Amino acid sequence: MPNQQDHEARQDQGSRVEGTRFSVLDRSRTREGHEASEALRDTVRLARELEQLGYHRVWVSEHHGVPGVAGSAPTVLAAAVAAATSTIRVGTGGVMLPNHQPLVVAEQFGVLESLFPGRIDMGLGRSVGFTDGVRKALGRDKDVADDFAAQLDELLGWFRGTSPTGVHARPAEGLAVPPFVLAMGEGATIAARAGLPMVIGDLRNRDKMRRGIDHYRETFRPSAWAPEPYVVISGTIAVAETPEDARRLLLPEAWSMAYSRTHGTFPPLPPAERVETLPMTAKERGFYESGLAGHIVGTEEQVAHELETVIKETGADEVLVTTSTYDRDALLDSFRRLARVAGLATD
């Protein structure tokens, strides 16, 4: 992992965009008319494409009981992705630590690192189940998230071999699997105190993002995991031949988010063509329009300019792209164009 001097040196060399790492979080979103199994296989296929394009890492997520997301077991899916690729880093964005025993998480990542040495990332979040039913099924409640700092310390202790129980996490103990904290709310403080890299979003609220990053850097305590602060900014980025085509990539996800806010369930992604003809209530329309706003969207030139601005403002070491849409070919085209913007690809 680069230190602060490496980061500053990159910033002095030409474009900040081309001096910044780019990675992708794929949520294995399901699509209308398609099975969940297709979404999982699409994630694996996408990872192979991203590797060829020069992206630094690909991460998968954890969601439970969500009709629109197939990714419920991130370490299992990460294993499939790592097996199908050879150079790109693979990890989770993230494993929701309150849902699991830290020992089990350590063992799972120990197995992954043992099978794919030097390629595994351990992204960790503090969210619990989306609904009361899911939380009950997981044996968790909302208050569990308040123990995240202690759970994180216990998890890292299994890798250090410092557990006071006399139990040893096999094969995790002694391995160096890079941990990242998903910095939602209190997460920036926890990441800084633990001396860990931080992933922060979203790009739609940049003032809040900058405040979180500043707080993280000001309070960061160097650790064996990270001697210097390391900031990954995350959000939706869509690139296409025209601004209109780029914006259309956002329509399926914006509608699914609006539907979830008004109906309490997150549905599979519909085609953009259908979204454009859907009747919406005033409340749905409000959430929908809000979901379309604030992202980095446009042609390659437009996106390059906006990325240059946000990377300069935040001093980010890395950008994690979280874009989802119905049309997988259009999504891959967006990643190809973004790779050119970032200087990852030359074709």
**pLDDT for 345:** 61
Lowest pLDDT segment from 78-92, 154-168, 224-238, 299-313: 154-168
Give me the pLDDT at residue 65, please: 75
Q: How confident is the model at residue 237 (pLDDT cuts 50, 70, 90)?
A: very high
Mean pLDDT of 42-61: 97
Mean pLDDT across the stretch 68-87? 95
Protein fold of 4-240+303-341: TIM Barrel (3.20.20)
Q: What pLDDT is attached to residue 166? A: 82
Kindly report the average pLDDT of the chain as a whole number: 90
Q: How confident is the model at residue 64 (pLDDT cuts 50, 70, 90)?
A: confident
The model's confidence at residue 246, banded by pLDDT at 50, 70 and 90, is very high
Residue with tokens 């043992």: 114
313 vs 328: CA distance, rounded Å: 31
> Average pLDDT of 212-219?
95
Q: Chain centroid to CA 320: how far?
A: 6
pLDDT tens digits, 178-196: 999 998 777 899 999 999 9
Decide: helix, strand or coil at residue 318. strand
Please say if the pLDDT value at position 3 is more than 50: no
Residue 9, pLDDT above cutoff 60: no
CB 88, CB 50: distance < 8 Å: yes
Looking at residue 36, its pLDDT comes to: 93
Query: What pLDDT score does 346 carry?
Result: 47
* Per-residue pLDDT tens over the stretch 141-170: 666 556 889 999 999 999 998 877 888 999
Show contacts of 246-249: CB within 8 Å, 24+ apart: 246/297, 246/298, 246/299, 246/303, 246/334, 247/292, 247/297, 248/272, 249/297, 249/323, 249/325, 249/327, 249/330, 249/331, 249/334
In the chain, where the domains are located: 4-240+303-341
HSE-CB at 166 with a 13 A cutoff on CA atoms is: 0
Mean pLDDT of 125-136: 73
Q: How confident is the model at residue 1 (pLDDT cuts 50, 70, 90)?
A: very low
Asked whether the predicted pLDDT for residue 117 surpasses 70, the reply is: yes
CA distance 323 to 114: 30
Residue 145 pLDDT: 54
Question: Which of 248, 290, 293 shows the shortest CA–CA distance to 272?
Answer: 248
Distances (CA, A) of 242 to 298, 299, 345: 7, 6, 20
Per-residue pLDDT at 63: 86
Please determine, for residue 216, whether its predicted confidence score (pLDDT) is greater than 50.
yes
Give the residues across from 239 on adjacent strands. 298
Of all residues in the chain, the percent with pLDDT exceeding 90 is 76
- When pLDDT is averaged across residues 23-35 and rounded to a whole number, the result is 95
Query: Distance between CA 299 and CA 62 in Å, rounded?
Result: 31
> What is this structure's pTM?
0.91
What is the Cα–Cα distance from 38 to 40, expressed in whole angstroms? Answer: 5
pLDDT-derived band at 134, boundaries 50, 70, 90: confident
